[in-house]
């Protein structure tokens, strides 16, 4: 079976297509969402998800989160004395999801469809595919998150000639996509977005406001203190859904510090972020040549769309209530499961033709003529414009710049700037040309971009007919198949925490963290329950463990309810 995976910035989840349609697969703790957090403990054991998040509150130096924002970059995370790229940390999350799927479905899982933000560039998409390979998965297809969400909402089963705007605001990335349905063809008309904008930024506003109002410099807090403050701010942000005023309480230098903030004041703080959301919406409409009034339906995706501030902004912006019939946290995963069923030719799934677009402009570097007849290097010449439907190909001709020129170098670029240096260098090719007068020799540069975002570049010397081809896989941090295999072996010594002991480890970590936060009688009572639970685990007696676990859970819930920390 091919499963579908939504690899998210804040949370990840997987789904499958069965007799009852697309269904989310619960993780080892019985929950649909697995936090995209990875820790490596003192014994070199990999913790993933909620357990890693809890461990990270006490050991932030051995924990990483929000790493999806840096997929495909050279940024490294030091955990347990070793360096990891974002795709390697993502591989741990994917491996945990794969194990959960195998346990739930009772069969081996080797293939998956994985979603990525529509605005992910070539390097980020390749890094996501590598993460799947490092997790032991054959990635059947990389699908854009808004397209997956559109499938989940059943947009392909609605009436023909319908236009949809998918508004996808997750924990760390924002995408807006405009799709049009015609018969059994679901076509992406335009995408825009921001890879560094999401729900985490709305939480960070409250963290910064708390620090500013209490005159606390950010660098005065330890990583553990910052983690605790972030946790409190996240809870306060969510509380705005039920209240017009929230509070954040935090102990700093043995003094209790507080922030009381109204929804109105918080919305004022959010205005710069909301403006960052507005711009991609406007650009996508412009690129698709569609007016806002021509959008038939607005679909919400991503957990951050639950925020009342964001939801109210969306209603005002689009002048209509969006479709929220599917849990926005689960929509993408469900869509990837349907896409996986299509790949398997599942007869229960209506076949639909999906078209995607090139998210960024692809081009090359050229020199342009100045008014005085001289040439200025470093300019960008587009070959495939952004939001061109793929699969596509396009050709541009360039000529030699000076007499007796013997070579032409083709820099392969991705981006929107007029200047080559401001765009992403994907690779380069050099071809030999016959010596001749300036401008007499030329090459035709053809870019071919396919549905999985693989770019093939062909350079043909016009006078000789010589052709040179190259498939671009991304220059920075790229790995060959052999290198992927080697890295898989290197990472295999790190064992993910066993599924059957996950709940116990999580409960102990939560108890230890809350013990540090409590004082007085509460701390003494909690210490007693923690010791009893540890003794029960050592006994290996099932009934004794279950009883001790239940009592410890009740104690923790009582502490959380009373707020005695």
Catalytic position from the list 168, 180, 234, 441 = 168
Is residue 278 helix, strand or coil? Answer: helix
Catalytic position from the list 145, 330, 365, 441 = 145
Which backbone phi and psi does 367 adopt, to 5 degrees? Answer: -105, 140
| Whether residue 68 lies in the annotated active site | yes
Which secondary-structure segment (H or E) carries 394? strand 392-399
Whether 178 contacts 131, CB under 8 Å = no
**In the block, which residue shows the tokens 């701010």?**
233
| Whether residue 201 lies in the annotated active site | no
Chain-centre distance for alpha carbon 421:
26
Which backbone phi and psi does 7 adopt, to 5 degrees? Answer: -90, 100
Is residue 75 helix, strand or coil? Answer: coil
Catalytic position from the list 6, 50, 133, 287 = 6
Across 464-502, b (16+ Cβ under 10 Å) vs e yields eeeeeeeebbbeebbbeeeeeeebeeebeebebbeeeeb
Whether 24 contacts 334, CB under 8 Å = yes
Residues 6+ apart with CB under 8 A from 79: 38, 39, 40, 62, 63, 64
Residue length, the chain?
565
Q: Which residues sit opposite 247 in a β-bridge?
A: 260
Catalytic position from the list 41, 50, 54, 68 = 68
Among residues 53, 140, 43, the alpha carbon closest in space to that of 96 is found at 53
| Whether residue 440 lies in the annotated active site | no
| Whether residue 385 lies in the annotated active site | no
Residue 371 to residue 377: CA distance in whole angstroms: 14
Whether 252 contacts 258, CB under 8 Å = no
- Token pair for 103: 């346990």
**In the block, which residue shows the tokens 């910052």?**
226
Residues with a known catalytic role? 6, 68, 145, 168
């Amino acid at each position: 079976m091919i499963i579908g995976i939504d690899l998210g910035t804040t949370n990840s989840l997987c789904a499958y297509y069965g007799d009852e349609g697309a269904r989310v697969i619960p993780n080892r703790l019985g929950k649909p969402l697995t936090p995209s957090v990875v820790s490596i403990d003192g014994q070199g054991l990999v913790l993933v998800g909620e357990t890693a998040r809890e461990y990270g509150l006490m050991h932030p130096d051995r924990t990483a989160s929000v790493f999806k924002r840096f997929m495909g970059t050279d940024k490294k995370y030091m955990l347990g004395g070793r360096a990891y790229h974002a795709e390697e940390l993502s591989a741990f999350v994917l491996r945990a999801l794969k194990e959960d799927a195998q346990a739930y479905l009772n069969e081996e899982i080797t293939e998956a469809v994985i979603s990525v933000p529509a605005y992910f560039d070539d390097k980020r998409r390749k890094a996501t595919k590598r993460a799947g390979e490092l997790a032991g998965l054959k990635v059947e297809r990389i699908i854009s998150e808004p397209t997956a969400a559109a499938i989940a909402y059943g947009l392909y089963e609605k009436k023909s000639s319908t236009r949809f705007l998918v508004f996808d605001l997750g924990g760390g990335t924002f995408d807006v996509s405009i799709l049009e349905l015609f018969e059994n063809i679901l076509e992406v008309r335009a995408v825009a977005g921001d890879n560094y904008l999401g729900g985490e930024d709305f939480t960070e506003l409250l963290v910064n406001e708390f620090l500013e109002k209490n005159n606390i410099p950010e660098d005065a807090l330890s990583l553990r203190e910052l983690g605790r403050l972030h946790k409190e701010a996240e809870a306060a942000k969510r509380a705005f859904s039920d209240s017009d005023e929230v509070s954040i309480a935090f102990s700093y230098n043995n003094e209790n510090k507080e922030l009381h903030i109204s929804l109105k004041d918080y919305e004022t703080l959010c205005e710069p972020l909301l403006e960052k959301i507005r711009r991609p919406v406007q650009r996508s409409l412009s690129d698709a040549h569609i007016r806002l009034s021509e959008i038939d339906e607005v679909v919400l995706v991503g957990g951050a769309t639950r925020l009342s501030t964001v939801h109210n902004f969306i209603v005002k912006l689009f002048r209509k209530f969006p479709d929220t019939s599917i849990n926005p946290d689960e929509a993408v995963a469900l869509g990837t499961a349907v896409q996986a069923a299509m790949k398997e030719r599942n007869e229960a799934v209506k076949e639909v033709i999906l078209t995607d677009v090139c998210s960024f402009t692809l081009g090359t570097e050229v020199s342009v003529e100045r008014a005085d007849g001289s040439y200025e290097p470093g300019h960008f010449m587009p070959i495939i414009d952004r939001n061109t439907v793929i699969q596509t190909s396009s050709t541009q001709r360039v000529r030699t710049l000076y007499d007796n020129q013997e070579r032409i170098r083709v820099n392969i670029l991705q981006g929107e700037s007029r200047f080559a240096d401001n765009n992403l260098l994907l690779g380069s090719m050099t071809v030999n040309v016959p010596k001749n007068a300036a401008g007499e020799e030329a090459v035709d540069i053809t870019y071919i971009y396919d549905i999985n975002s693989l770019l093939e570049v062909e350079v043909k010397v016009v006078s000789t007919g010589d052709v040179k081809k190259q498939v671009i896989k991304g220059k920075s941090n790229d790995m060959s198949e052999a290198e992927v295999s080697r890295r898989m072996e290197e990472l295999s010594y790190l064992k993910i925490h066993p599924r059957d002991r996950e709940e116990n480890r999580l409960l102990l970590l939560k108890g230890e963290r809350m013990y540090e936060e409590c004082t007085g009688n509460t701390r003494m009572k909690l210490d007693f329950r923690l010791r009893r639970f540890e003794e029960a685990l050592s006994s290996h007696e099932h009934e004794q463990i279950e009883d001790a676990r239940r009592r410890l859970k009740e104690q923790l819930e009582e502490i959380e309810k009373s707020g005695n920390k």
